[in-house]
Amino acid sequence: MVATDIDVHTPAPDPEDPIFALHRGGKMAITATVPLNNADDLSMSYTPGVAQVCEAIAADPEVAHEYTWVSNTVAVVTDGTAVLGLGDIGPAASMPVMEGKAVLFKQFGGVDAIPIALATTDPDEIVETIVRLAPSFGGINLEDISSPRCFEIERRLIERLDIPVFHDDQHGTAVVVLAALFNALRVTDRYIEDVKVVISGAGAAGVAITKILKTAGVTKIAIVDRSGVVHSSRGQLDEVKQWLADETADWARPGSVSDALSGADVFIGVSGGTVPEEAVASMAPDAIVFALANPQPEIHPDIANKYARVVATGRSDFPNQINNVLVFPGIFRGALDVRATRISEGMKLAAAQAIADLVGDELTESFIIPSPFDPRVAATVARAVTDTARREGLARRPY
C-alpha cells in the first residue's frame, strides 16, 4: 500500500465515538487457565510446586512445549513502519493494529498471540531482539515492517530460529491471492500455466505473490511500480527489484502499467494508486481483476466490472474479499500443532489449495473465496499445513 502522512491536525479521540469506545483499555487481556482459589492452588501454580516443572525443563528444554504456553503462543512483532494504509506511524500508534491481529489469531485459530511493538527500525536490533524473545513463543508473526527491510529481517530470523517465522504482509497475502486465483481460473476456464499476470506493487506483498505464483506454475508475470514495469533495462534496481526483473524477464517488457495490461489475463493490485480505465479495457476477454488496496482499490469495482469477468478487492463491502485472516490463523494453528520448524513453500501452497477447495460447487464469479467467518477455514488450512509438514519432515510432533 502507499504510505500516507498523518495529519498533525487530527482531532483528539472522541470518547462517544463507538470505535474509540471499543478500543478503550485495549482489545485483549491475559487470563489464567488454572484456578487460584486457595493455598493448595497457589502452592502448585507457583512456589513450591512450580520448581518441579522448572527443573524438568532445565533437564530437557523440549518439555517447555508441553508444560508452558509456548506451544500455543505467537509473537506479533512490528516496528510500526508500514501500518495498513497509514505508512510509518511508529510503534505506539501501531499497537491497535497489533492487538487486532492478536484478537484475530485467537478468534479464528485458537492461537494466543502477544502484540510487540519495537522502538527501533534497525534490522540488526530487530533481529537480535526477536531472537532473545523467541524462547517465550512457539512462532513469530512479523507485521507491518516496511520493504525492503522486511525481507532481510525475515530471512535472518529463519536462519537463526527453529520455530516458524512468517511475515503476513508477504506470505499471508500471497496465499490468499493464490487461493482466489485458483478459483477465478476455474470460473474463466483458464490454465495457470497459460495466463498473463500483471502485479502492481513491488513491495513485500508483490514479491511474495510473484514467488508463490511462479511456484504454482505461472510463467508470464510483469511487475509494475511507480516507474513502470520492473525490468533490467531501467538500471539502478535494488537487490529485490533486480530479483523481480530476473524472475519475470521471459514475458515482462519495459513500459507503463497500461502497456503491461494490454492483453493481460490477470491484474493483481497491492500498491494503491489508480489504473486508467482504458488500460483495464485493453485486458483480455473474461479478465480477472484483484484490486486489493484499501480503502481505495487501484481499479474501482464499478470500472472493473465493465470489462472483467471476476473482480475481487480487499474490502468487505464488495463481493470476493481477499483477506489475510483466511490464512494466518490456520497456518500457525497447523504449524504449532506439529511443532513445525518453519513454514515452507509447500505448506503455503497446500493452504492456498485448501482455501480454494472450500468454495466447492458454490463457485461463481461473485463467490471465489470463502468468508472469513466460515468456521471451516482455519481447521481446513491447519490440516493441510500439518499434513504437509509431516510429509516434508518439518514436524517435530509427528502424531
pLDDT digits (tens, 9 = 90+) for 121-145: 999 999 999 999 999 999 999 999 9
Do residues 241 and 230 lie in contact, with contact meaning Cβ atoms separated by under 8 Å? yes
Q: What's the pLDDT at 139? A: 98
Do residues 220 and 265 lie in contact, with contact meaning Cβ atoms separated by under 8 Å? no
The secondary element (H helix, E strand) that includes residue 69 is none
CATH of the domain at 236: 3.40.50.720
CATH of the domain at 99: 3.40.50.10380
Q: Is residue 112 part of a domain?
A: yes
| Residue that is last in its domain, among 163, 196, 223 | 163
Of 195, 201, 296, 214, nearest to 257 by C-alpha is 201
The secondary element (H helix, E strand) that includes residue 266 is strand 266-269
Are residues 229 and 256 both part of a single domain? yes
C-alpha cell at 114: 502477544
Q: What is the DSSP letter of 318?
A: S
| Residue that is last in its domain, among 163, 196, 211 | 163
Of 240, 304, 294, nearest to 272 by C-alpha is 294
Do residues 104 and 135 lie in contact, with contact meaning Cβ atoms separated by under 8 Å? no
C-alpha cell at 165: 517465522
Are residues 95 and 223 both part of a single domain? no
Do residues 189 and 285 lie in contact, with contact meaning Cβ atoms separated by under 8 Å? no
Do residues 335 and 348 lie in contact, with contact meaning Cβ atoms separated by under 8 Å? no
Are residues 158 and 173 both part of a single domain? no
Do residues 177 and 204 lie in contact, with contact meaning Cβ atoms separated by under 8 Å? no
Q: What are the catalytic residues? A: 46, 101
Do residues 112 and 28 lie in contact, with contact meaning Cβ atoms separated by under 8 Å? no
| Residue that is last in its domain, among 163, 183, 218 | 163
Are residues 383 and 258 both part of a single domain? yes
112 has which bridge partners?
73
Please give the Cα distance from 304 to 116 (Å, whole number).
39
**How many structural domains compose the chain?**
2
Do residues 36 and 42 lie in contact, with contact meaning Cβ atoms separated by under 8 Å? yes
Q: Is residue 57 part of a domain?
A: no
Model confidence, pTM: 0.93
Note down the domain range covering 149: 68-163
Mean pLDDT for the chain? 94
Are residues 111 and 233 both part of a single domain? no
Q: What is the DSSP letter of 369?
A: S
Cα angle value 253/259/260 (rounded, 5°)? 60
Quick one: average pLDDT of 27-36?
A: 92
CB neighbours of residue 230 within 10 Å: 27
Q: Is residue 310 part of a domain?
A: yes
pLDDT in tens, 215-270: 999 999 999 999 999 999 988 899 999 999 999 999 999 999 999 999 999 999 99
Quick one: average pLDDT of 93-98?
A: 96
The secondary element (H helix, E strand) that includes residue 170 is helix 168-188
pLDDT in tens, 52-92: 999 999 999 999 999 999 999 999 999 999 998 789 999 99
